[in-house]
Chain A
Amino acid sequence: MYCEECKRKPATVHVTKIIDGKKHESHLCATCAQKDQMDVGVQPSFAIPNFLAALFNLNPEIAAPFVPDNADDTCKKCGVSFNKITQTGRLGCNQCYQEFSDRLEPLLRRIHGSGQHLGKVPQRRGGLIRQKHEISQLRVNLQQFVAREEFEQAAVIRDEIRKLEQGLEG
C-alpha cells in the first residue's frame, strides 16, 4: 500500500481518527505522518530526533526544506556543527545554546511557546545568579549617580558592588 498523502512511499503508519463520531483511517508514510502528527489525536510514536530535525528543517509557511545559511558553523567549545545538531536533534554542549542562540531561540518558541524560564532555580548556583542580578542592578544605579555627579552616593554603591564581587569570588 502506498502513502495516501504523497502516493510515492510505502505507507507504514496507520492512523485511526474519530471525528464527530465517525472513524477515519489514514495510511501514511513516515514523512507524511510526521507532518500530520500535529492534528492526530492519539499520536503514532515517532523518534524525537526526527521530530526535531523536522522542526529545524521545515519552514512552517511553505513546508519546504530550509537550509540555514551558515549550517557549517561549529560551537567554539565542543566543535559540533549546527548541521550535525539538526541531524541528531541533540546539542553538543551547554555552550551550544549561546553559540547558536539566533537559530535556537525561534525554535524554542515554536516548541514551547515561550523563551523564558519561570521554574526552579538551582539553590547554590542560583544564589550566584541572584547576586549577579543584584550587581548589574547596582551598576546601573552607580552610573546614574555618576551622571548626576552625586559622588558620595556613588562611592557607597561602588563599595557595595566590590563587597558582592568579592563574595562571588570567595
Chain B
Amino acid sequence: MSIESIIQKTVSHWMQASGRLNDVVISSRIRLARNLEGYPFPLELSESQALELINQVKEAVAKAPDGPFEYVSLSEISPLERHVLVEKHLVSPQYVENPMGRGVAINDDQSISIMVNEEDHLRIQCFLPGFNLEEAWDCAAKVDDLLEASLDIAFDEKIGFLTACPTNVGTGLRASAMVHLPALVMTNQVNRVLGSLPQLGLTVRGLFGEGSDAMGNLFQISNQVTLGKTEEDILANLSAVTSQIVDKEREARQSLSEGAKEQLEDRVWRAYGLLTNARLIPGQEALKLLSDVRLGADLGFISNLELEVFNELIVSTGPAHLQYFAGQEINSMARAGQRAILIRSRLINADREEQRC
C-alpha cells in the first residue's frame, strides 16, 4: 500500500451506509490522545526527537496483529495529497499545515488512523459507520493497548493520561457522532434541540459551516469533558443524547412527510434533478442537494439508490479530491465542472446497480 492506493481507495469503511440508526447517524468516531514519556510535547519537540519518536511508534505499530498499517510521512507527500487525507478525515486540518516531523499510520479499510506528533504525540482514531460508539471504543482501546505494550505512555495516577492541552487530560477521549438533521433544520428546531447540549457536557459543531447555517445539515456531537468520568460514562452520555436527537429528527421527518409530503417530495426530486443534470455544481450547493436527496432516499421517495453514495460523494467532491483526480490544480469553476461530472455519473451508477440486483 502507498499514499496513492490510500487515496485511490475512495470508500473508507465509515462511508458504508451500515450500522445502527444509519438513517440519521452517519458515523461514530473515537479519538484518544496519548503522549510518550521522555519527550516534550510536539510543540516543543526538536526535529531529531520527532524522528526518533516516529521510529518508536512505527516499530510499535508494526506489531499490530490485525493486519498492516501503512505509515505515511507527511513531509514526503505533496500538499494536495495531505489535503486529500484531511478530506478523508484521516488527519486533522491544523495538522497538515506544518508537515515536518509528522506522519500518520492508516489501516487497510481506513477505519483506524494513528497521527504522530499532532497536538499530542499520538492521536488514535477509530471511525465506524452508523451509530456504533461502543465498537469504535473497543477498536481504539485495542490500538491503545497495542501501543502501550511497547511505548511508555505518560500517565498520572491522579489526572490520568497527560495531554498537551488540559482540555483533553484524563481519558484523552473524544467521542463523536456525526448526525444528519435535515428535518430539524427545515422545521427550525435544530437550535433548540442542539442548544441544550452544552449543559449536558457535550459540544456540537457543524461539519461544514456552523449553527443553523451548517452545510449539508451535518453536525458532529462530541463529549466536552475528559476528566473525572469513566470512558463508559462518557460514551453512555453521548449515546443517550444522540438517541434522543435521532428520535427528534425522525419525528420531524414523520411530521414533514405527513403534513407537507408534496413539498418535501418536490424538494427531493428537484435536488435529484439538479444533481443529475447540472454541469457546474459549487461545493456548498452539492452538500445542500446531497442532503435533500439523502433525506428522500431515507424516506423511501427515491428507492433505488445505494446509501453509501452520499458519504462517498461528500468526501470525493471536496476540492482536494477533485484536484488530485484531475491530476493538477484547478480553479473553483473547473472544480464545479468536475464535481458535476462526478456526482452525475456516481448517482446514475448507484441507481443502475441497484436495479440490476
Contact = CB atoms under 8 A, between A and B. Distances in A.
Interface of A: 15-18, 38-39, 41-45, 48, 51-52, 77-78, 80, 88-94, 97, 104, 107-108, 111-126, 129, 133
Interface stretch (B127-135, B223-231, B261-269, B331-339): B223-231
Interface string B192-222: 1011101000011110001110000000000
Contact of A44 (B144, B148, B149, B211): B211
A17 B44 CA distance: 40
Contacts of A111: 166-167, 225, 227
Contacts of B170: 112, 117, 119
B236 interface: no
A169 to B, nearest CB: 16
A107 B164 CA distance: 14
Contact of B159 (A117, A120, A123): A117
Contacts of A104: 166
Contacts of A120: 141, 144, 161, 171, 230-231
Contact of B192 (A15, A18, A117): A18
Interface stretch (B19-27, B75-83, B150-158, B247-255): B150-158
A133 B157 CA distance: 10
Given A42-B211, A114-B228, 8 more contacts: A42-B190, A42-B195, A42-B212, A44-B210, A52-B167, A94-B154, A118-B229, A120-B161
A45 B192 contact: no
Contacts of A108: 159, 166, 169, 227
A119 B156 contact: no
Interface of B: 35, 37, 39-41, 43-44, 119, 141, 144-145, 148-149, 152-162, 164-167, 169-171, 173, 188, 190-192, 194-196, 198, 203-206, 210-212, 225-231
Contacts of B158: 115-117
Contacts of A94: 35, 37, 41, 154, 156, 162
A80 B43 CA distance: 10
A38 B199 CA distance: 9
B211 A16 contact: yes
Nearest to B119: A90
A91 B228 CA distance: 20
11 contacts: A16-B191, A41-B191, A41-B195, A42-B195, A42-B212, A43-B203, A52-B165, A80-B40, A108-B166, A112-B225, A125-B148
A78 B156 contact: no
Nearest to A120: B231
A92 B228 contact: no
B41 A124 contact: no
B159 A42 contact: no
| Closest 5 A/B residue pairs (Cβ) | A114-B228, A41-B195, A117-B160, A112-B227, A119-B171
Given A18-B188, A42-B211, A44-B210, A112 B228 contact: yes
Contacts of B157: 117, 129, 133
Contacts of B169: 97, 108, 112
A90 B164 contact: yes
Residue among A48, A93, A125 having the largest count of chain B Cβ atoms under 10 Å: A93
A48 B165 contact: yes
Contacts of A45: 205, 210
Contacts of B198: 38-39, 41, 43
Given A38-B198, A42-B210, A104-B166, A124 B149 contact: yes
Contacts of B141: 120
A168 to B, nearest CB: 14
Given A41-B194, A42-B191, A113 B228 contact: yes
A43 B205 contact: yes
Nearest to B120: A90
A41 B228 contact: no
A124 B60 CA distance: 14
B154 A115 contact: no
Q: Most B CB atoms within 10 A — which of A52, A121, A124?
A: A124
